[in-house]
Structure 1
Amino acid sequence: MEYLTFAEFEELNGRELDEATFNKLLPKASAILDNATSHFYQMNKMESDNQWRVGQFKRALCSQIEYFHVLGATTFEEINNSPQTFSAGRTSVSNASRYNPSGANESKPLVAEDVFLFLEKTGLLYSGVAVW
């Protein structure tokens, strides 16, 4: 089930992205949001849900696609696979952490922070026990 069309992505997202890249990133981004929302839209129809909540979900999906596009990666390993330091001749470049005094890099998350901005207050992030 596709949650978002390319036309909707263009309408909701301010940045340009070609359709081939969108189609490549959509399945993984959808899987990430399914995980974050406990697969809510796998068990409930988007068409019959509150349209504001559906809109927020689609905006979150756009954010996740954009996050993957900007990073050029879709897995945790790819996202966090940058070297701590590298040298070329007598020049050395270090990617020290802003937060860790030892200089070790912190991991970047697989889920874009913007996803949570769109999904908070929608009920889609509820992680309690649901009784069906």
Structure 2
Amino acid sequence: MAYVTQDYYLKEFHGEAVQGADFPSLVERAAEIIEELCMYRIQESNMESYSQDIQERIKKAICAQIEYLDANGGSDMDNGADIQSAGLGKFNYTRVSGNSGNQEQSIYAPRAKRILAPTGLLYRGGRCL
């Protein structure tokens, strides 16, 4: 069972429309990325151990990550490529490199980070609820 369903994504989160065929891969990749962002403190199997507020924030963070992935090239966004600039429909990707260092687009949705910030799940020092 996934953290979120397409119905939740559309009706509760009010996310941008995603092609139905793309949703399963997007939700899987988004969940993997959010688990990584939280240093694997969250898993579908332990969701019940969190308060309702934190469970809701985790779901919303995954939805924000789905929206971010879809807007930036889909579930393969983190495969990496040395693309300077590309765009087609919703997809817009730029990777800049030069003598002053590399700037790359983060795989983590900024909105997902903001949603999870008050949960303590992003804190490296330990599990704070």
Same topology, TM > 0.5: yes
Task: Give the number of the structure whose alpha-carbon radius of gyration is greater.
Answer: 1
- Aligned to 1:19, the other structure's residue is in SS state coil
What TM-score comes out, normalization by structure 1 length? Answer: 0.72
List per-residue Cα deviations over 1:75-111 (Å, max 9, x = no partner).
4344x54236xxxxxxxxxx796xx997987210111
Q: Is there any run of 5+ residues in structure 1 with no aligned partner, and where?
A: 85-94
Q: Give, as a single letter, the amino acid of the residue that structure 2 aligns with 1:3.
A: Y
The 2-side partners of 1:103 and 1:119 are apart by 32
Offset at residue 27 of structure 1 (A): 1.2
Matched positions, count = 118
The aligned residue for residue 50 of structure 1 is: 51
Q: Is there any run of 5+ residues in structure 2 with no aligned partner, and where?
A: 86-93
Offset at residue 14 of structure 1 (A): 3.3
The 1-side partners of 2:49 and 2:100 are apart by 50
The 2-side partners of 1:41 and 1:19 are apart by 26
Alpha-carbon distance change, 128 to 10 in structure 1, aligned in 2, over 3 angstroms: same
The 2-side partners of 1:43 and 1:72 are apart by 25
Does residue 1:108 correspond to 2:105, yes or no? yes
* Equivalent residue for 1:128, pick from 116, 125, 128: 125
Give the stretch that moved more between structures: 58-67 or 68-77: 68-77
The 1-side partners of 2:51 and 2:103 are apart by 38
Offset at residue 48 of structure 1 (A): 4.0
The 2-side partners of 1:15 and 1:96 are apart by 24
The aligned residue for residue 10 of structure 1 is: 10
Identity, % of aligned positions: 26
Alpha-carbon distance change, 25 to 96 in structure 1, aligned in 2, over 3 angstroms: closer
What TM-score comes out, normalization by structure 2 length? Answer: 0.73
Offset at residue 39 of structure 1 (A): 1.7
The aligned residue for residue 76 of structure 1 is: 78
Q: Give, as a single letter, the amino acid of the residue that structure 1 aligns with 2:125.
A: G
The 2-side partners of 1:77 and 1:42 are apart by 23
The 1-side partners of 2:25 and 2:95 are apart by 32
Task: Give 1 or 2: higher strand fraction.
Answer: 2
The aligned residue for residue 87 of structure 1 is: none
